[in-house]
Amino acid sequence: MEVLRENQDVNKEKEYSSKKQIFSALFIFALAAFLMISPQLYKHSIILGNDMMFHFNRFYEAYMQIKTGDFNYFQSLFGFNQSGRIVNALYGPDFAYLQGLLMFITKNWFRYQLLSSFLCFFTAGVAMFSLARKALVNYKFSIFISLLYMSSSMVSYYALSQNMTSWGAAFIPFIYIPAIRVIKHPERPIKPIELTLAVTSVGFLHNLTLLLGILSSIPFYIVGFLRAKHKGEMLKNFFIAVLLTILLNINTLVGFIDVYLSNELVYPKFFEDVLSYTMRFTMGDNTYSELGMIFSCIMLFQIFYLVFNWKNNSTLEKLLTIVGTFFLVLSTNFLPWEDISLYTNFVQVIQFPRRFALIAFVFLLIGFALSLGKITKNFDKSKKKIIYSFLCMISFLTLSNVNLEVLQKAEAWETDNPTSAGNNGPWAMTEDPDEIRGGFTSGRYEDAFKVIDKPTPDYLPLLNNTTQEELIEQDGYKMYDEQVVNNKFNGTKTVDDENRLVLTWEGSNNGDVVLPAVVYERSQINFNGKHYNPTQIQKTTLGAPVVQSKRGTNKLVIGYDPMVSTQLLLVIKLGTIGIMLAFVLVKMIRKHTSFFY
């Protein structure tokens, strides 16, 4: 009976994979993504959101390294004021280089932001649709929930605020495709390459989203293991997938461990009024901290539907709804988050409890679509047309809401305060709105950092026995601004043949000088021809070197000596990709060869 059911599921998956259906779905998602970003296109506006300058610096760094050929996996040689600080190695390095390549295609910030936002929306739609197909959701319902997911605040806040969590949200449905396989295919619950690619698709861009994805997948694998026909084979395939995932992400993992083990780093800003960053059930629109009427109704309906129809729900539907509900509750103000933050640092890692809602959006939407399929199973064509019309109306409303929010953000661009779409105003280098706009439209990427320079201290080394709390009291933003961003350094910054940061200046007399750069525990330093260990150099609280400048020409060279060679890690990564491609190719050849015999 199990084998028969599995064969039926496979046939349904093939049925859902018809080219016409797939192309129709892709066209709908592309149209929806265009609709949501269209106000920005028509107004020819750039949205200067909260996280824009931090991530623009990251991507600009990758772009310039590709452009110049001066590759340094750890140090920032071009972005972040050429400070040598480590960011990309800790925050989706592979994704940063992909965005750098995208900048080559688009040539300016306007086209880059437009295309990047479009791809984020489109990817979210494709990912959710792929997950719905794996769960055997009705085709029309699959498109409906995919459109809802695309237009949710979890995804849309990349276009509105350049929030990188939205890119994680765009990819996270992929990580649950193997989790659904574990439940639906007890004969062969794990395909190692499928699981590897699913985890890697999220791991290459956002660590926190990957953590949430793994935590929320655990119940599926526990249940799948209990139901598996061949538990030993399942464990073997699982550990093969783990090994392949480690090898594919070896550069990210080793880079992360390298920096974190040898330094105490500054956490991203923690907001003490943590309840303000929880998710709330409301009757309005879906926003940063409000589910809104449509998503509130859908999620609550699915929860109560499971309660009243427990026996009629499959194991998959129960898992989706229970796990989704658990994470939804975690994201809300129903929990005393302010008290919890007093006893654990985990809240500082999560930063915003609303992030837990991401899992609820994915699971409860899939569960709702499966419930709709059962409810409408015996409806005649006329009743189904009414349901489809109603769902189209809901989809259009959620898409229109994002369209309106993008319009409101885009309109700020032409005002006397173009930074009002985000919180970059205090860090503008000029009060002239035309100069600000010119910095982003000149056609030179670097000009943007001449008009807005936001001193975000995230991931800087925290030294001199200073605690995170003390840094907040001393205002880490202001400290970093004075020491690096607006340091009165009167010299030049260049990159040498070994792709190290070089600071050169003329000293008028002997005395201590704070240089606008950052030194870590594994940094390699050469000052005026002499080599120094980081411990031999005096540093500020945020790692800026303090040196004894001499009269005449001074030269400081800062490199980084990682625990493991970056080139070796790249060889391992590319070698793993090659082996996986060869394996898939051989399997395809065998499959087609056996077809002819």
% pLDDT > 70, the chain:
95
Contact 255, 314 (CB under 8 A): no
Helix (H) or strand (E) segment spanning residue 411: helix 381-411
Of 77-86, 357-366, 534-543, 579-588, the poorest mean pLDDT is in 579-588
SS3 542: coil
Which pLDDT score is estimated for 597? Answer: 46
Q: What gap in Å lies between CA 369 and CA 145, rounded to an integer?
A: 7
pLDDT at 114 over 50: yes
Which pLDDT score is estimated for 23? Answer: 93
For tokens 């409890």, the residue is 353
One-character DSSP codes across 153-200? HHHHHHHHH--THHHHHHHHHHHTHHHHHHHH-TTS---HHHHHHHHH
- Output the six-digit token pair for 421: 């779409």
Closest CA relative to residue 75, chosen from 506, 435, 505, 500: 500
pLDDT at 2 over 80: no
One-character DSSP codes across 267-304? PPPPPS-GGGGSBB--SS--BTTB-HHHHHHHHHHHHH
SS3 529: coil
pLDDT at 3 over 60: no
Which pLDDT score is estimated for 454? Answer: 92
Instruction: Kindly state the average pLDDT of the residues 321-340.
Output: 91
Which pLDDT score is estimated for 595? Answer: 45
Of 201-205, 265-269, 341-345, 412-416, the poorest mean pLDDT is in 341-345
Contact 187, 3 (CB under 8 A): yes
Total number of residues shown for the chain: 597
pTM, whole model, 2 decimals?
0.93
Q: Model confidence over 13-44: pLDDT tens digits? A: 555 557 889 999 999 999 999 999 999 999 99
Q: What gap in Å lies between CA 63 and CA 263, rounded to an integer?
A: 27
Q: What gap in Å lies between CA 219 and CA 198, rounded to an integer?
A: 17
pLDDT at 8 over 90: no
pLDDT at 258 over 60: yes
User: Mean pLDDT over all residues of the chain?
Assistant: 91
Q: What gap in Å lies between CA 123 and CA 272, rounded to an integer?
A: 34
Q: What gap in Å lies between CA 269 and CA 205, rounded to an integer?
A: 20
Which pLDDT score is estimated for 210? Answer: 92
Listed in sequence order, the residues at least 6 apart from 374 whose beta carbon sits closer than 8 Å to its beta carbon are 312
Q: What gap in Å lies between CA 52 and CA 223, rounded to an integer?
A: 41
Q: Model confidence over 480-509: pLDDT tens digits? A: 999 999 998 999 999 999 999 999 999 888
Listed in sequence order, the residues at least 6 apart from 16 whose beta carbon sits closer than 8 Å to its beta carbon are 133, 136, 139, 142
Q: What gap in Å lies between CA 145 and CA 299, rounded to an integer?
A: 12
φ and ψ at residue 556, rounded to 5 degrees: -120, 125
Report how many helices (DSSP H) and strands (DSSP E) the chain contains, helices first. Answer: 24, 8
pLDDT at 594 over 60: no
Q: Model confidence over 562-572: pLDDT tens digits? A: 999 999 999 99
Instruction: Kindly state the average pLDDT of the residues 245-266.
Output: 93
pLDDT at 273 over 50: yes
Of the two residues 348 and 5, the one the predictor is more confident about is 348
Contact 523, 558 (CB under 8 A): yes
φ and ψ at residue 447, rounded to 5 degrees: -65, -25
The model's confidence at residue 342, banded by pLDDT at 50, 70 and 90, is confident
pLDDT at 271 over 70: no
Where do the structural domains in the chain lie, given as residue ranges?
A: 491-560
> What CA–CA distances, in Å, run from 101 to 94, 104, 207, 308, 587?
11, 5, 21, 51, 32
> Which span out of 264-278, 340-354, 410-424 was modeled with the highest average pLDDT?
410-424
> Residue 336, CB half-sphere, CA atoms under 13 Å: how many?
4
The model's confidence at residue 541, banded by pLDDT at 50, 70 and 90, is very high
- Output the six-digit token pair for 373: 């399929």
Residue type, position 182, single letter: V
Contact 466, 135 (CB under 8 A): no
pLDDT at 7 over 60: no
pLDDT at 294 over 50: yes
Burial (Cβ within 10 Å: 0-12, 13-18, ≥19) of residue 173: buried
The model's confidence at residue 66, banded by pLDDT at 50, 70 and 90, is very high
Which pLDDT score is estimated for 236? Answer: 96
Of the two residues 306 and 335, the one the predictor is more confident about is 306
Listed in sequence order, the residues at least 6 apart from 353 whose beta carbon sits closer than 8 Å to its beta carbon are 274, 277, 278, 279, 330, 331, 332, 335, 337, 347
Instruction: Kindly state the average pLDDT of the residues 545-571.
Output: 94
> Looking at the domain 491-560, which fold is it?
Immunoglobulin-like (2.60.40)
Q: Model confidence over 47-62: pLDDT tens digits? A: 999 999 999 999 999 9
